[in-house]
Amino acid sequence: MADEKDWVSQAERPEGDGRLQYHIRCREGDVADTILLPGDPDRVAKISSYWDEFKEISDYREHVVHTGKLRGMNISACSTGAGGPSTSNALEELAAIGGRNFIRVGTTAALQPDIALGDLIISTGSVRFDGTSENYVSLGYPAVAHYEVVLALIEACEKLGFSYHTGITATTASFFCGQNRPGFEGYRQSWQQTRHEDLVAAKVLNYEQEAGTILTLAGLFGLKAGAISVAIANRATDEFVYGGVNKCVEAGNEAAHILHQWNEERLTKRKKRWHPSI
């Protein structure tokens, strides 16, 4: 890994020798084209434990990167850290060295009372309160998951027998006030409650902090991306139990393999896009 003293680069887009990326400390050839994106660095090891083989590529700041093999396919995982800024750094740099398919694997708080703790939520799109994607494009641009990734996540949950929901996520820049939780010493503003109630009325399924950034940037850059999260909290019922992460990890890995199979099928049939009747 390069030391700080080794960085001599253009400031506009810092890269080291061999296109070493500044934040994730990976080069071309270090990552697969399909990459799982947990927020928590410790979750990378959970993800790669399902693989046939893997090696740690880097561990720098909030970004841990593993690359390996899952049933014959090349696969990587890179932690994003919490929130939009570090997530955008990771996605930018992963794309620069060959990442093309991205699946966020995370935890979330449900907003609707019928979502049980431990259920999985597949994001078809996101409300962009992430505070980062607006630096790339106006808020009128939608954060939409790629249809193949959504279908692969659904297929994975069906195959594994996991309870899941599909719908719109709200990605926020703050775990506390941004998600209608009181801040330090009970601090709050009136808009918090109003926005929360509006999201619930609009049938938004959940709060989290990274999907909106990933989906927006993937759309802008022509990449495929989606997100799956496990509900560890329900704001409607005021419950919180941290668990079910392994289910989310297993579903993410399975979906990555399904995407790989579909892509092979698409290439064999010489089709531009995968579709169910291919």
| Domains of the chain: residue spans and CATH | 22-268 (3.40.50.1580)
Query: Which residue among the candidates 25, 43, 66, 93 is catalytic per the annotation?
Result: 93
Given a cut of 50, whether residue 30 has pLDDT beyond it is yes
Confidence band, pLDDT 50/70/90 cuts, at residue 5: low
Entry field: residues in the chain: 278
Given a cut of 80, whether residue 3 has pLDDT beyond it is no
Overall average pLDDT of the 199-210 stretch: 98
pLDDT tens profile 68-109 = 999 999 999 999 999 999 999 999 999 999 999 999 999 999
CA distances from 116 to 41, 124, 234 (A): 26, 19, 8
- pLDDT for 131 equals 96
Q: b/e per residue, 77-92, with b = 16+ CB within 10 A?
A: bbbbbbbbbbbbbbbb
> Would you say the pTM of this structure is higher than 0.75?
yes
235 is catalytic: yes
Of all residues in the chain, what percent are helix, strand and coil, respectively (each to 5)? 35, 30, 40
pLDDT tens profile 217-276 = 999 999 999 999 999 999 999 999 999 999 999 999 999 999 999 999 999 999 999 999
Confidence band, pLDDT 50/70/90 cuts, at residue 199: very high
181 is catalytic: yes
- Rounded Cα distance, 39 and 58, in Å: 15
The continuous run of DSSP H or E covering 211 comes out as helix 211-221
pLDDT tens profile 259-277 = 999 999 999 999 999 999 9
Under DSSP, is residue 140 helix (H, G, I), strand (E, B) or coil? coil
Which residue would you say has higher pLDDT here, 54 or 7?
Answer: 54
% pLDDT > 90, the chain: 91
Query: Which residue among the candidates 27, 63, 235, 257 is catalytic per the annotation?
Result: 235
Backbone angles phi, psi at 140, to 5 degrees: -70, -15
Backbone angles phi, psi at 256, to 5 degrees: -60, -40
Under DSSP, is residue 195 helix (H, G, I), strand (E, B) or coil? helix
- pLDDT for 2 equals 46
Query: Which residue among the candidates 19, 61, 71, 181 is catalytic per the annotation?
Result: 181
